[in-house]
Chains A and B, each alone.
Chain A
C-alpha cells in the first residue's frame, strides 16, 4: 500500500491566518491526490481533487498544489467555519489510502 504522511497532526491558528498542511506519499502518485474536510459528526466533503482542482462550490480561499510525492493544502485566510479535520487521500492505485488527518483549531 502507498502510505500518506500528513503534517502537522494538529494546528491552531487565528482567523485571517494563512494555513498550510502538507501530505507526502511513500511513492510517486502523479497528481492523484485529493483533500477532504470533515466537521464533527459529519461525513467528509471533497474540497480539492487531482491535487489542485477546486471542487464546485468550494470557496476560493482553499487551494492545493504539488505532484509526485509532495503536496500542499492551503487556506489563504482562515475563517471560523473552517474548523474541521482535513485529510489527504491518494487514488494512484488501490487501496486509496488516506492521510492520518490534521485537526485545525482556532487560536
Chain B
C-alpha cells in the first residue's frame, strides 16, 4: 500500500527542540518530492517547505525559512521537520504530503495522517 505514516503527537515546552518524521512506503521514495504543510488550530493550510530525497534539494517558504529545517534520510524512506527552539506559536497540526508526479512539484495526492505538536509551558 502506498502511504505516508507520520510520527505521533508531541507535547513540548517553549525553547525545546523537536524533530517529527514522515515515512513513505509502497513507492520509490527517492523519486518524489515530499512537502510539509502547517495547519494552526482552526485555521487554513500553509505550505512550509519541500525536499527531494533523491538529492536532498530543499526549498522553503519565505515565511518558514530559518524557522524550521526539512531533511530526509533516503536509506530509511523518511522525511523530517525539525525545530531548534519551539515557540507557543508552533502549536499546530503538521502534515507531510507527496505530489502526484515523480520528480515534479505538483498537486499533493498522498498525505500523511498528521502530527499534532503542542508547545506550552
Chain A interface (Cβ within 8 Å of chain B)? 1, 34, 36, 38, 43-46, 49-50, 55, 85, 87, 89, 91, 94-101
Q: Which of B35, B45, B95, B112 contacts A101 (CB 8 A)?
A: B45
Q: A43-B112, A46-B107, A95-B59 given; name 7 further pairs at CB < 8 Å.
A: A44-B97, A46-B100, A85-B44, A94-B59, A95-B63, A97-B47, A98-B46
Contact of B113 among A38, A43, A50, A95 (CB under 8 A): A43
Chain B residue at smallest Cβ distance from A94 = B59
A87–B113 alpha-carbon span in the complex (Å): 18
Q: List which B72-119 residues lie within 8 A (CB) of chain A.
A: 95, 97, 100, 105-109, 111-114
Which residue of A is nearest B62, CB measured? A1
B50 within 8 A of A: yes
Interface residues on B, range: 20 to 34
Scoring A43, A85, A89, A94 by chain B CB atoms within 10 A of each residue's CB, the highest score goes to: A43
When C-beta atoms are compared, the residue in chain A nearest to B6 turns out to be A43
A1 is contacted by which of B61, B106, B111, B113 (Cβ under 8 Å)? B61
Query: CA A50 – CA B109 in complex, angstroms?
Result: 12
Q: Are B62 and A91 in contact (CB under 8 A)?
A: no
7 closest A-B pairs by beta carbon, nearest first, are A95-B61, A49-B107, A43-B111, A34-B107, A98-B45, A101-B44, A95-B47
The reply to whether A44 and B47 form a contact with Cβ atoms under 8 Å apart is no
Please state if A100 and B106 are interface contacts (CB–CB under 8 Å): no
CB distance from B4 to the nearest CB of A (A): 9
